[in-house]
Structure 1
Amino acid sequence: MKDLYILLPICFPFLAAIIIILAKFNEKRRNIFAGSAVVLNFIFVLSLFCYFSEGKLHLLKINEFLDLYFKIDKLSIFFGSIVSVLWIFTTIYSMEYMKHEGKEDRFFAYFLATLGITLGIAFSGNLITLYFFYEFLTLATFPLVIHNGSKEALESGKKYLVYSFVGATLALLGMIVLFSITNSLTFMPKGIFNANSNLNISLISLSYLALFIGFGVKAALVPFHSWLPQAMVAPTPVSSLLHAVAVVKSGVFALTRTTYYIFGAEIVRKTHSTRYLVVLIVISILMGSFLALHQQNLKKRLAYSTVSQLGYILLGIVLLNENSFVGSMLHLINHAVIKITLFFCVGAIMYTTGKTEIGQIKGIGKQMPITMWCFAISSVSLIGIPPTNGFVSKWFLAQGALVEGKIAFPAILLLSALLTAMYLLPVVTAAFFKKGDNVISLNKEAPKKMLIPIVCITVITVLLGLLPNYVLIFVQEIASELM
């Protein structure tokens, strides 16, 4: 019976979502309830990791293919912790921000449901369970993307659905082919294949490519990335979830599970599939950076930045060695905390001043010094200047590339870092060193409910750079099980 506890952090957010819809709380009570729900769910997750770290649960098994199976391991602990912590900050931020977006009850209902679904992805014990929750994630986040109901939002939502379902179809094809070979979809360190068996490498390669591209759609792999910038029409808390925690990171998590827990590094090397994927990943890194340079809208600039930064994580996955894996997982968490801070800062600017373009924020650093200093620190971290957390993850990615003899990849990472500086530092420069057209009243910061999450996550970002060993050792333990 104790294994049923695995379902608690998955199901509790759904229950909280239903209560919000039915109870018709006033604003204060709803905010207290939503905040209490995500904090309590974090406690559930924490206790799950502390007391049931080896938990397993077959919830419903029809046959070997249709098996709803949940399992706790180190990778699920890693991803589930990131999701649970950042969801708390996003909830607090949303309490204030959503006041001018309206339809708060509906927002918080889908917002909490998305938390449960994302944790379902984290705790999935096989590929089919992950796939089911992956599909539910699309359905739960669609109403968040189209929240304001405008024509632009509806078009963006339609594109999001089309891309997501096309990717899901490819992933399903890959699963069917894979199951026909292995008769298993259960996650196991180093994969489910016997490397010494007489394997049909062509069929395995087809399966891996279909799964990688299918899940890669949500990870914004070029040329399947264009849904992500268009989804910026959503409220800023939704944008931050799409880019930092839920959707794109779920895509990355699915690719990590597929590569290292289904196929295994040794089998993926034998298929030579990564030679094709690397081309798309390098294009994603560079094209995302170049496109970000040309965006004057702050949220869209950050959106194209995400396309580039996700390329770093995907590169670490397909290089298939311990250093690259460590760099990839470190960049997963580092990008999450950095990018959510950047989006929160942009949302604070929009909420307080109504400004959305880079040319409109000249001198805003005097008006909103705390917000813009947090933006500046996060920008420097994303660029990867020592001793920031972005530098730590990029260092391991470069090492992983050199281990494989890929000298060009560190050069690409350096070029992308330069481009990152070129599209982020002008925002900081405009805020602090350029004089605005109008006189700006001093110290008109964002409300405290928005400012506190911004400052707290910025502190986490700094600590991850100065004290990386706590996370690094844990990630290295995961890597040692897979290589």
Structure 2
Amino acid sequence: MSNTVMLIPMFFPFLASTLLGMIKFATKEKRNIFVASIIIANFLFLLLIIYLKGTIDVHLFMVNNFLDLYFKIDKLGILFAMLASTLWIFTAFYSFSYMTHEGKEKRFFVFFTFTLGITISIAFAGNLFTFYVFYELLTLSTFPLVIHSGTREALESGKKYLIYSFGGATLVLLGMILLFSISQDMTFIPNGVFRNIFIDNSKLLLSIYMILFIGFGVKAALVPFHSWLPSAMVAPTPVSALLHAVAVVKAGVFAIIRVSYYIFGSKTLENINGNLYISFLIIFTILLGSLLALHQENLKKRLAYSTVSQLGYILLGVVLLNENALIGGILHLVNHAFIKILLFFCAGAIYFTTGKKTIGEIKGIGKKMPITMWCFAIATFSLIGIPPANGFVSKWYLAAGGLNSNNVLFVIILLVSAFLTAAYLLPIVIAAFFQGDKDINNTENEPPLSMLLPIILLTAIVVLLGLFPNHVLNYIESIAKTIV
């Protein structure tokens, strides 16, 4: 397989989004067919590359060991790329109907398609420099999506998003320079670049790790650098869904996994106690995200603060530095992606159909939108971690990882957070099905099929990932075994 073929899933969306912006479509239907064809074709290209297993790395542009645009396909990258590509398909079809009342649809789909290429490039970045380049391009490509409505509130939120993102990027750049000065290598290698290098200055290593962790942690909504995320809820629901499920916050988490296990390595982090200091921020993130979610009346903002807390779960799995914890963290990255995009799709369906945004306004809506709200309820049970839902499986491994580390406190934190998750999500389900006017008109008023079908299919995936987790679990175990 040639290098050109390997790069198709990364660069095809860039070309396609350019064509999308240039072509004048006779009807919206033809434009939607074009967008759907791009997203599905790119998914098939990705499957082809994975199936052929030919050339797995390529130096696209190299000046020196630092300035090296290098791509490499490995198991972790495949998992992230497949997750992104799958959810992009669901979001595309959902957006065809949803974006009709948001306007500026063509501009939305241009940046939507362009961002897919950037996300796949992040997945297959072979070193920290390449990752950084596309990580910053991700900020620039999602910024127009965040400010899509053009309102004052949207522009202020977009400004905040840029300030936080570029602030984190500055820290990452500093960390990269310091890292390269002592290692002369930023390639993603299982067990890290320090496995054959002895560095006597543990304080310097710890400082570099914390700088990189916090820098990437900004996009991962690590408290206290999280406030950009709820503010970004002014974006259209498909954008909110992608921000929370895979495109931005999960790119931050993915970066931290790469830095922790492919740059530093678990052994080095243990030697410098790199996980000890960060764990306090993570615990704070888990608890504060849940507590703040309790006080949000706006449905999307409640889900946003929920994401802050749930991302803490994944980061906890990363810093515990044992196999079960890492399996649980990566599995929760996948499970949370499907759960959270489903919850946002349901919230968007409610707003699209009824115009209601707050929890107080949706009392009794389960009688008018039973399919949507039952799907919301199933996603709620999954996020809480009620067996046999998929959220239970990942949280079980996280708890086992905490016990393996002889740290009962982490297990207690997980249990407390599960109760808090129930406290901020179950009232929504109760309000939808058991409150409201008893004489309410029971005429069903579900969203259009192009929105409802992705919701139903995502619900089925959430259930199946809980009932039959072994395929994904075995794949993640094979990743964890090579890096812990």
Q: Which residue of 2 aligns with 1:289?
A: 290
1:269 Cα deviation from its structure 2 partner: 1.0
Between the aligned partners of 2:275 and 2:476, the Cα distance in structure 1 is 23
Structure 2 letter corresponding to 1:20: L
Question: SS where residue 338 of structure 1 aligns?
Answer: helix
User: How many corresponding residue pairs?
Assistant: 483
Residues 60 and 69 in structure 2, CA contact (< 8 A), matched pair in contact too: yes
Residues 159 and 227 in structure 1, CA contact (< 8 A), matched pair in contact too: yes
Between the aligned partners of 1:344 and 1:396, the Cα distance in structure 2 is 28
Question: What TM-score comes out, normalization by structure 1 length?
Answer: 0.99
Question: How has the CA–CA distance of structure 1 residues 324 and 88 changed in structure 2, closer, same or farther, with 3 Å as cutoff?
Answer: same
Question: What TM-score comes out, normalization by structure 2 length?
Answer: 0.98
Q: Which residue of 2 aligns with 1:467?
A: 468
Structure 2 letter corresponding to 1:14: F
* Identical amino acids, percent of aligned pairs: 61
Question: How has the CA–CA distance of structure 1 residues 254 and 366 changed in structure 2, closer, same or farther, with 3 Å as cutoff?
Answer: same
Between the aligned partners of 1:465 and 1:223, the Cα distance in structure 2 is 32
Say whether residues 1:228 and 2:237 are aligned partners: no
Structure 2 letter corresponding to 1:10: M
Between 257-266 and 10-19, the greater mean CA deviation after superposition? 10-19
1:184-209 CA distances to partner (integer Å, 9 max, x unpaired)? Answer: 00010000113672432111111111
1:71 Cα deviation from its structure 2 partner: 0.4
Residues 281 and 315 in structure 1, CA contact (< 8 A), matched pair in contact too: yes
Residues 363 and 431 in structure 2, CA contact (< 8 A), matched pair in contact too: yes
Structure 1 letter corresponding to 2:213: F
1:270 Cα deviation from its structure 2 partner: 1.2
Between 357-366 and 338-347, the greater mean CA deviation after superposition? 357-366
Q: Which residue of 1 aligns with 2:243?
A: 242
Between the aligned partners of 2:132 and 2:393, the Cα distance in structure 1 is 32
Between the aligned partners of 1:276 and 1:50, the Cα distance in structure 2 is 41
Q: Which residue of 1 aligns with 2:220?
A: 219
1:39-65 CA distances to partner (integer Å, 9 max, x unpaired)? Answer: 000001111111136511100000000
1:106-161 CA distances to partner (integer Å, 9 max, x unpaired)? Answer: 00000000000000000000000000000000000000000000000000000000
Structure 2 letter corresponding to 1:321: N
Say whether residues 1:142 and 2:149 are aligned partners: no
Residues 233 and 240 in structure 2, CA contact (< 8 A), matched pair in contact too: yes
1:37 Cα deviation from its structure 2 partner: 0.5
Q: Which residue of 2 aligns with 1:429?
A: 430
Question: SS where residue 184 of structure 1 aligns?
Answer: coil
Between the aligned partners of 1:293 and 1:402, the Cα distance in structure 2 is 28
Between the aligned partners of 2:323 and 2:195, the Cα distance in structure 1 is 21
Structure 2 letter corresponding to 1:144: L
Between the aligned partners of 1:349 and 1:160, the Cα distance in structure 2 is 26
Between the aligned partners of 1:101 and 1:438, the Cα distance in structure 2 is 32
Between 380-389 and 15-24, the greater mean CA deviation after superposition? 15-24
Structure 2 counterparts to residues 26-105 of structure 1, below 5 A: 26-52=27-53, 55-105=56-106
Between the aligned partners of 1:335 and 1:438, the Cα distance in structure 2 is 37
Q: Which residue of 1 aligns with 2:5?
A: 5
Unaligned runs of 5+ in 1: none
Structure 1 letter corresponding to 2:20: I
Q: Which residue of 2 aligns with 1:20?
A: 20
1:5 Cα deviation from its structure 2 partner: 1.7
1:435 Cα deviation from its structure 2 partner: 2.1
Q: Which residue of 1 aligns with 2:456?
A: 455
Question: SS where residue 296 of structure 1 aligns?
Answer: coil
Question: SS where residue 461 of structure 2 aligns?
Answer: helix
Structure 2 letter corresponding to 1:22: M
Between the aligned partners of 1:456 and 1:137, the Cα distance in structure 2 is 28
Q: Which residue of 2 aligns with 1:404?
A: 405
Between 273-282 and 465-474, the greater mean CA deviation after superposition? 273-282
The CA RMSD over aligned residues, in Å, is 1.1
1:15 Cα deviation from its structure 2 partner: 1.2
Between the aligned partners of 2:293 and 2:325, the Cα distance in structure 1 is 25
Residues 2 and 55 in structure 2, CA contact (< 8 A), matched pair in contact too: no
Structure 2 letter corresponding to 1:223: P
Q: Which residue of 1 aligns with 2:326?
A: 325
1:171 Cα deviation from its structure 2 partner: 0.6
Residues 6 and 55 in structure 2, CA contact (< 8 A), matched pair in contact too: no
Residues 90 and 237 in structure 1, CA contact (< 8 A), matched pair in contact too: yes
1:441 Cα deviation from its structure 2 partner: 4.5
Question: SS where residue 70 of structure 2 aligns?
Answer: strand
1:3 Cα deviation from its structure 2 partner: 2.2
Unaligned runs of 5+ in 2: none
Structure 1 letter corresponding to 2:276: R
1:325 Cα deviation from its structure 2 partner: 0.5
1:319-361 CA distances to partner (integer Å, 9 max, x unpaired)? Answer: 0110010000000000000000000000000000001010111
Between 16-25 and 189-198, the greater mean CA deviation after superposition? 189-198
1:16 Cα deviation from its structure 2 partner: 1.4
Between 47-56 and 434-443, the greater mean CA deviation after superposition? 434-443
